[in-house]
Structure 1
Amino acid sequence: MISQVVPVTGARTARRRRWGPVAMSGIGLAMAVGAVTPAEGQGRCAGRRPLAPLVLRTARRIGLQVAFNPGRLAAFCTTERLPDNATLADLRRVVAAAGLRLVQIDRHLFALALAVPPPAPARARATSPHRPPTATAAAPDYADDTIEPIVVMGRLNGADSDRWLRRLRTGIGDSVSADRIRQLPAVSAADALRLVPGVQLDNQRGSGVYMFARGLDSVFHVAEIDGRAVALNELVENGGPRGRSFRFEMIPAEFIGRIDVAKTTGSAQDEAAVGVTVDMRILHPLDIGNRIEMAVRSDMNDWRGQPGGGVTGIGSWTTAGGDLGILLMAQARRRAIRNDRFFEFQWTRDRFPGILPHGTYTPGRVRPTIEIEDRHQRSGMAVVQWRPAVGHMTEASAFVTRLDVDYDESGLDIYPDDATYVTPRFVTGSAVLNGDTAIAGRIEDVRWMASRETSRNRHDLLVTGIRHSIDDGGWHVVADAGFSRAHSHQPRAMGTSRSRMAFFAPLSFDFSRGYRTPATLTTDRDLTDPASYAGWTYNYAPKDSRDTAAAARIDAERVLDDRFATTLRGGMAWQERRRDYRRRDLFIDTLRGVPVTDARLGPATYEPLPHAGFLGRLPAGTPGRWLVPSATGQRDLLLTEAALATAPGIDDLAASYAIRERVISGYGQMRTGAMLLGGPLDIEAGVRLPHTEQVSAGYRSDGIAATPVRYRRTYLSFLPSLSLRWEPAADLTLRLAAGRSVTRPNLTDIAPRLTLSLDNRTASGGNPMLRPFVATNLDMAIDYTPGAARTLSAGLFQRRLDDYITSANRPIAFPDHGSFLLSTTQNGGKATLSGAEVAGAFGLPLPTAIGGRASVNGSLTLVAVASAFRAGDRVIRDRLIGLSRTSVTLAGRYERGVLAADLGWFWRSRYLNSYGTSVIGEEYVAPLGTLDGRISVAAHGALTIDIDATNLLGVHKYLYGTTSAQPKEINLFGRTVSVGIRWRMPA
């Protein structure tokens, strides 16, 4: 069945077959419009009708989605009329009068092409006006030079779909189809996004969660599902809040029909992101037709050594005429993860004055730890599509998922510079310096603390929406409403539970072997002897974050017969996001200092490290075994009903907040097509005016009392955009774009909140008066497509950001807790981000003896930034959070008969992870590349067997400080191999 109309090429020459979108600056637009002669404009269709609006109107009325490029049909006119109830047969008659013909490209793919050479006889079965014919003959090769497409209509799949969708864009962007997603191991939407040039993912315990793109952090990008805003699951497990960052792990890859990534702004977009807008298009029944499919998968992580897997089911049904479609889908999946982590929490400056030179960094909190996660996700989706009449379409969908993460962490915390309880003493003459860093030495009276952290972290996500479109003559009207709810929380008595036991002893440390090798950390105590330890403060910290996103919009587009303006479009949108975040911290000191061998604690509250082989091989002197608290011992003893019923304290109130953000926006846009110097030209210009109201509520604490506060901020943004696409020669496309965009501040950054960390004497807070990120965006791209399976593209982009938000640090004292270093945010200045992208795809010739087909596709992205931000008294130059200067993707595919093999390599250079403070240096993630692969065999008819492998090379993730002489983290998460069996009901 037909799902979209895709314009493909112009008609200047019988050999022309390629095109692509263009955008340009104001100067370029003036030159382009001035170059369009009257003969190429209004007068060409004198006495006849322009074909372009007729194609638009008819295709939409019979239920086809239209992605139209006005310049493609600028040269075509017709004398035929179309009735109000026009069918596909009527459209065939009208285009024939304009010198075009309908040809078949593939089973579900048709094209309007030049009438010469004449079409081959078609063999088709009868169909309704809502659905084009489906030929029974074998589809011709799309690369055949006798086929000269002007407009392509149909459901596009696989790599061809990605190329066509890229070409039809007015702006610059990429698409990843469902078929291409399934060519490499992909558990979630995060894995699928790796295939987009310029996109990188963070790697958390071997899984992708948050997205970075074109050098910008995850907060700069917008995530949508079917074009609608989606609520955000906030981080509740161990780690800092992310605010506006979408967790792409929440969307199973199997539920996705296509991912569109818009890299330039447009006035019709709900959000004009400074970064990219990711629209995850779910599967729709009228796209995939009748289908019943079942899949079973089993996987094993070699480091965890415990199996996982899942089951997926899909059922899609459509009426014979394509007027009604219903899709139901469900999935249950379990993953078992282990991450061995050796990290140095912070390198701190000038902690031992008089002993070490001024400006010397020494190690702060050091922590070998083993993290265990059991992840259970259950998802369901229902979609209904209904065409009650010609020109009308109603779509309703609901997606729901629940992700439960059981977290169990066993660690050993070492505090070389913490003077909260006992003042450590650096032994004079023991330091070994590497520049400004003490990489080895001996410190007396250091706190050693064995810890156990457990929690149940639950993430719920609901996304619903309804959309109705009307196509009546020259009008195309779409009304859309959606609601999304995300709830991240920890069930009662299952919040973050931190049990600890400690002792004070000397520390001899040696980090001289670099950031890829664990440091030597020795003491005179036996880490496995219960007699070494005493009880310590027990901490229970439940968290609850509720986020909702409600939106409604109406868009109207008028198709014009005028030769200058092909379409006029405008609309209004309303969106409201609410965030309610609650956190508590219970600290229970009743057993601090009590020996763990005492009857008040005893053997039920501790155990040997429950996991063997920490980090594989360890150098001599690196802790690999230690005693840890029991997962339940101290919690069962101390977390009583009376403790849980305790009223929130001052610090609890100061860490909680509520935010409401309401955006009302309107936009107008014009689109036109013409001929410029013999080549088709498409122009799109518009402006968007969003009005934003933010209300932040919370508590301000002085350490003695918490006072309710409320802040309100409003602002109006003016966001013009202009894009141009021009095909100056066969197989060559130029695109230019310019515009303004805005990214609103992180929700956690504008919250009037304050959170204390007693372990490292730091505090974090919000700033409700932050101004948004505003950027001027310039983009240029060129596409060269010499063949159906060969593409080469290159582009340049620049983002000039005003009011860039960065960190600020200052000391602050609390009467009950002492002195802390407070970190907050402020508008820190300007930054200019510049970059280049190159991407390509081509086939590989193979010897006859090997046979089959092979192809390669890849991309290279280079990014640079000019910036200068202060982190206390330090200046961070030419660095932004999450910016990798270089990223590479490379994927290869081999097919022969029933066998298909795929291999993908995804690499990014180092990037800044945090700015640090006045006394704490910045932190970098070292270069990281992973190799993934899949082998697929069509075993028997509708049965397919897949074997997947991720992180084939078993790489580790590393972090370091201001230089590589300051090791920060080593993460070992192993390889994962999975086997899947998929059965699809034969068509």
Structure 2
Amino acid sequence: MPSTLSQAWARLIGISLILVYAAGPRAEPQTQPASYNWQLPAQPLGQALTQVARQLQTSLWFDPRKLQGLTAPAVAGQMSPAQVLDKLLAGSGFQALPRSSGWLIQQRPHLPPPSPEPPHHPQVMVEQLLVLGNYSRNQQTAIDKKRTSNRLVDKIIAEDIAKFPAHNIAEAIQRSPGISVVRDRGEALFLSIRGLPTQFNRVSLNGHSLAVNENVRNSEQYGRRFHYDTFPAELVAGVEVRKSTAASDEEGAIGGSVDIRPFAPLTIGEPRLSLSASANSAELVDTWRPKLAALGSWVNSDQTLGFSLAAAYNQRHLRQDRVLNFRWEHLSTNQLPATTNNRDTLVTPAGVRPTLELEQRERLGLSSSLQWQPSESWQLDVHWLQLQQQIDYQEYSYSADYNSAGLLGASLQTRGKALVAGSTHTGSVQIGQESAGLENDNSMLDISLGWQGEIWQLNTSWVNSRAHSGNPEAIKRTRLRRAQDVHFDFAYHTGQQLPQISYNNIDLLDPGDFPGRRLEWRSTRSSDSDTSLKLDATRPLDHPLWQALELGLQWRQHRRDYWRKDRLVSEGITGIYFPSDYFIPLPVANFLGNTRRLPHNWLAPKAETFWQAVDEHAFYQSPLSAEDLQNSYRIREDSRALYLQLNMDAEQGRWPLRGDVGLRWVETDQQTQGGAQTATYTQRYGELLPAANLVLELDEQLLWRSALARVMARPEFQDLAPRLTLNSGDVATATSGNPELKPVTGWQWDSALEYYPADKMLLSVGIFAKKLDNFFQSRTRTQIIKGTEYELTSPDNGARANIAGIELAWQQALPEPLQHWGINTNYTHTWTSARYYTDTGINRDRLADVARNSVNLGIYRETSHWHWRAHYNWRDQVLNQVASANLAAQNSEAFGTLDMHLSWRFNSNLSFTAEATNLTNAAQWESVLGGEFAGYTHYGRSFWVGVNLKL
């Protein structure tokens, strides 16, 4: 593994934390007394409440705009927290209601007024988001924040993240209703929100979009989707998953949006240092690697200037055992042997490829915030984020490939419409090794300046975010192949069982059976940048219904440069037989565990020996070929947005009403250019996006929420690009882009009832519906390219989709005698339908990448010293490939994981933890035709043990 990353940043982390910690005195642990000695001068009420929260080291929630113009009296003497709050609020029309996690400051006699939601407005929201208290108390904090929100949201705070094993922030978010994840090598990579494919949600930091990394591992690209595996959970103070939208929100999310909030020093409110260290191990690898995290914060005595730095570093060694079946092909009768009796067979597997994947990952994240509030009118916030990840990847594989016309007729067996067993004397076998160095580098600088006048509140921000992905070590594939004369038998079994392969005239461990095929070399780099400038203004309104007017302007520019260079080496390789010293033993002895249907040992090419005569430097220095240029592209996207929003808060009447209604106009200019720079494609489009969120307070415990909005999502970058990629393999396939793609647009409606019968308790039921036009789809057709017939897949508009669903959630700390226990569970059912246009007509099916059912079940037990928590996440079968003219529809089977956390708190500053993921040792399966094998992935269990120290 490269060591430069860890060495360089380790020094910076150590020096920075020492400076942060040394800048202020340590807060000594103490037990909160029944009363305090108060010496508070007469001052603005909001400022007085802020001082009380900091002295009590607890949470207070209030809307600072509601308190404008109110003055708190001077308070002196020995009083309890309740007494001092009563004196400060006397005659103000407000009251303080105790909560297990703090106090709610609200108007009499109604429920708490909504806190201002948009993250771009400066607020004085006094709350503890650090991992300082117990889990159940912080659950109440999340419930209170959800309750006072105008929109359908789920709140996740630092304690919830810390009290559970999470490789990254996405694995903490997935426990919310309607959230599922797409995993890569056992780690969450993307989120799906409310039954939409992963490209239809948006990720932001403090409300600002993040540049995204591109996939440089293979030819598949991920476009606008943020890679969650680059973002350590330890850098996050809180997350808000927004399932409804407002006019003040940046466009681009249909399924939902995720806003990540970093730690802020003035919110923490005191000098603090937290440290954690643990070791992690993946069961299949059986090596322990370090995981370190730290948070330091300093504020001056006037609470006007603060600085914080959070850092996280970890290493992981991973192993993944896979069996791949790339396609089940539709057959015509003339493709079957003349001797077969079942000439109406429709599909057959084209072959199988067992694959061993090994990775060494090293990840570093830094998040720093500077806040300066010289007066109540001004506040400057500067936030910097740096994420780095390096991966060393190794892959070993063999294959069993056949042509259906060469199958021996007497051996064929069918099951339903599938050909599932047979023999061939004209098969092919390839053995191979692949290595790659992969790197991801993200940075973000966010500068915001807020001003609060007597009438207007203004906020301006400039944000620049960059992401780079590339191959510091080129992808190198070493291929040897025995073709067209291999005798083998195959059989595909029912249920979740691996297929069976038996070779009859070759030995997978004999170098004399495998001549060289070729060496493949690839280097890819992708640069993504996102720059935005925003100006927002808010003005309170003196009206019985309308509380405030918001308006804003935004300019944003997004750029993507993608370059790829491929080279093939056949001279001295093709047809050559190599001695045994060109090979090494397979690095593991237990591939696929106890399964013996498939050969579990084979020749592993010694890559450095095969590549010793190749001049890689010449590859790097060579100019881009025509094929390289047709794979490469540039995209520039400029957007301008204007919004107007009215916030309502009607306190009068039987049922108080709050919420917002507004309009957003966005105009987009796109320029796409192929790497050859032969042509530039441009298009412009504009959309008017109305949005409304309403909350009706039916009584003090019951809320009814409704939301309606028009939404849009822009096409993926690789789909817009004028590119052409010719894929390697026995079947000639290719992919291309479409510079004329239009955005997906549609309407979405949500409604939910939320019941808050007691502290730490929430029951909710919600329904949602979405109707989308111009839905993206892929079409596959036959096309002659350079004299060869290819199956060309390209994106276009035209498909339509409908999504509807229901969400149920129950969250509660249980009463006596189970007062130490709690439960957090939710269920989502999603119904979808889509029309896909094909060359043969309209194909109706489910929407791809959507689970019909998903369940989260969490149980915890918490005492003064012990905390135990178990969580089970399950999702139903997912359609991941829609049927086409020559390919069968493919599904990802139902999948669930059980994770667990155990911690023991020695005292208020020191605790020990043990965690595990995938305790059920679940594997992921793929299928076609209602259960026929199409893929298998197993990465096993993972474990952590660690210690946490707070000073």
Cα 1:857–1:814 shift into 2, 3 Å? same
Indicate yes or no: 2:406 matched with 1:425: yes
| Structure 2 SS opposite 1:497 | strand
- Equivalent positions of 1:168-183 (< 5 A) are 168-183=148-163
How is 1:887-902 mapped onto 2 (pairs within 5 angstroms)?
Answer: 887-902=854-869
Cα displacement (A) at 1:211: 0.7
Structure 1 match to 2:476: 497
Deviations 1:797-829 (A, max 9, x none): 01100111101111122226x211000011122
C-alpha distance 66-806 of structure 1, shift in aligned 2 (>3 A): farther
Matched letter for residue 981 of structure 1? V
Q: Identify the residue that residue 946 of structure 1 maps to in structure 2.
A: 913
- Cα shift at 1:523: 3.5
Establish whether residue 722 from structure 1 lines up as the match of residue 692 from structure 2. Answer: yes
- Kept in 2, the 8 Å contact 1:483–1:549? The answer is yes
**Counterpart check, 1:367 vs 2:353:** yes
* CA distance in structure 2 between the partners assigned to 1:844 and 1:130 by the alignment: 33
1:353 aligns with 2:335: yes
- The AA in structure 2 aligned to 1:615 is L
User: How far off is 1:111 after superposition?
Assistant: 2.7
Seen in structure 2, the aligned counterparts of structure 1 residues 698 and 739 have a Cα distance that, compared at 3 Å, is same
Percent same amino acid among aligned pairs?
26
1:197 maps to what in 2?
177
Please say which of residues 722-731 and 629-638 is displaced more in the overlay: 629-638
In structure 2, C-alpha distance between the alignment counterparts of 1:769 and 1:417, rounded to whole Å? 38
The TM-score normalised by the length of structure 2 is 0.87
Q: Is 2:552 aligned against 1:571?
A: yes
Partner of 2:665: 689
Check whether the contact 2:60–2:127 (CA below 8 A) recurs between aligned residues.
Answer: no
Contact 1:157 1:179 in 2 (8 A): no
Shift of 1:842: 1.7
**How far is the alpha carbon of 1:758 from its aligned partner?**
2.3
Mapping of residues 671-820 of structure 1, within 5 Å: 671-675=647-651, 677-698=653-674, 708-759=678-729, 760-815=731-786, 818-820=788-790
Aligned pairs (5 A) from 1:26-105 = 82=70, 95-102=89-96, 105=99
Superposition CA RMSD, Å:
3.1
Alignment partner, residue 147 of structure 1: none
What is the aligned counterpart of 1:645 among 579, 603, 621? 621
Tell me, in whole angstroms, the C-alpha distance in 2 between the residues paired with 1:904 and 1:889.
Answer: 7
1-side partners of 2:641 and 2:537: how far apart?
Answer: 15
CA distance in 2, matches of 1:887, 1:951: 17
SS at match of 2:756: strand
Whichever residue aligns with residue 249 of structure 1, its letter is: D
Q: Which moved more, 1:569-578 or 1:954-963?
A: 954-963
Determine helix, strand or coil for the equivalent of 1:517: coil
CA spacing shift, 1:927–1:105, aligned 2, 3 Å? closer
1:492-548 CA-to-partner distances (Å, cap 9, x unmatched) read xx1211101111312311002444334334342011011101011111111111101
Q: CA deviation at 1:834?
A: 0.4
Secondary structure of 1:585 counterpart: strand
Residue aligning to 2:419: 438
Structure-1 residue corresponding to 2:4: none
* Partner Cα distance (1:647, 1:322) in 2: 58
* Conserved? CA contact 2:45–2:70, under 8 Å: no
Deviation at 1:446, TM superposition (A): 1.7
Pair 1:274–1:616, CA change in 2 (3 A): same
Q: Give 1:69 shift.
A: 8.2
Q: CA deviation digits over 1:318-365, x for unaligned, max 9?
A: 112211111122222001110000111111122762426256212224
Aligned to 2:376: 390
Cα shift at 1:488: 0.7
CA contact (8 A) 1:157 1:177 kept: no
Structure 2: any 5+ residue segments left out of the alignment?
1-43, 77-83, 111-122
Question: Shift of the alpha carbon at 1:463?
Answer: 1.4
2:397 to 411, 416, 422: 411
Amino acid at match of 1:765: S
Identify if the C-alpha distance between structure 1 residues 168 and 635 changes in structure 2 by more than 3 Å, giving closer, same or farther: farther
Aligned residue for 2:251, secondary structure, equals coil
Q: Which residue of the partner structure matches residue 980 of structure 1?
A: 946
Match of 2:522 in 1: 541
865, 882, 890: which one pairs with 2:849? Answer: 882
- Post-superposition offset of 1:192: 1.2
* Matched residue count: 872
Specify whether residues 156 and 353 from structure 1 end up closer, same or farther in structure 2 by C-alpha distance, changes over 3 A only.
closer
CA deviations 1:731-773 (Å, max 9, x no partner) are 1100111110100011111111111112031100100101101
Q: Is the 8 A contact 2:833 2:845 kept in 1?
A: yes
1:269-298 C-alpha deviation (Å, 9 max, x unpaired): 012511101001011112223211111110
Which of these residues, 814, 826, 848, is aligned with residue 844 of structure 1?
814
In structure 2, how many angstroms separate the alpha carbons of the residues matched to 1:131 and 1:643? 56
1:292-691 alignment, distance < 5 Å: 292-350=273-331, 353-355=335-337, 357-358=343-344, 360-417=346-403, 425-491=406-472, 494-504=473-483, 505-597=486-578, 602-620=579-597, 622-675=598-651, 677-691=653-667
The answer to whether the Cα contact below 8 Å between 2:741 and 2:796 also exists between their aligned partners in 1 is yes
Residue 707 of structure 1 deviates from its aligned partner by 6.8
- Cα distance in 2 for partners of 1:976, 1:949 equals 6
Query: Which range moved further: 515-524 or 774-783?
Result: 515-524
Q: Report the AA paired with residue 408 of structure 1.
A: Q
Q: Retained in 2: the 8 A contact 1:852–1:897?
A: no
Q: Which residue of 2 aligns with 1:4?
A: none
Task: Describe the superposition over 1:20-50 as per-residue Cα deviations: whole angstroms up to 9, x where unpaired.
Answer: xxxxxxxxxxxxxxxxxxxxxxxxxxxxxxx
Determine which of 186, 191, 213 is the counterpart of 2:193: 213
Question: 1:636 deviation in Å?
Answer: 2.6
Q: Residue type of the partner of 1:678?
A: R
Match of 1:111 in 2: 105
Q: Distance in 1 between matches of 2:239 and 2:809?
A: 18
The match for 2:805 is: 835
**Which residue of structure 2 aligns with residue 40 of structure 1?**
none
Higher RCO structure, 1 or 2 (CA under 8 Å, sep 6+):
1
1:45 equivalent in structure 2: none
Aligned-pair distance for 1:587?
A: 1.1
SS of equivalent to 2:441: strand
Residue 934 of structure 2 is matched in structure 1 by: 968
- AA of the residue aligned to 1:392: W
Give the SS at the match of 1:483: strand
* Residue identity in the other structure for 1:683: G
How far off is 1:628 after superposition?
A: 2.0
1:666 deviation in Å? 0.3
* Contact persistence 1:761–1:821 (CA under 8 A): yes
- Matched to 1:533, the amino acid is F
Contact 2:127 2:267 in 1 (8 A): no
SS in 1 for 2:757: strand
Shift in CA distance, 69/63, structure 1 to aligned 2, threshold 3 Å: closer
- 1:189 is displaced (CA, Å) by 0.9
Kept in 2: contact 1:58–1:87 (CA 8 A): no
Deviations 1:220-251 (A, max 9, x none): 00000111110011111136111111111211
Distance of 2:559 and 2:53 partners within structure 1: 36
Note if contact 1:205-1:973 (Cα within 8 Å) is conserved in structure 2: yes
2:61/2:126 contact within 8 Å kept? no
8 A Cα contact 1:657 1:751, kept in partner: yes
Please state how far the C-alpha of 1:313 moved relative to its aligned partner. Answer: 1.9
CA contact (8 A) 1:105 1:111 kept: no
Shift in Å at residue 642 of structure 1?
Answer: 2.7
Give 1:162 shift: 1.5
Cross-structure match for 1:959: 926
Whether 1:232 and 2:212 are equivalent positions in the alignment is yes
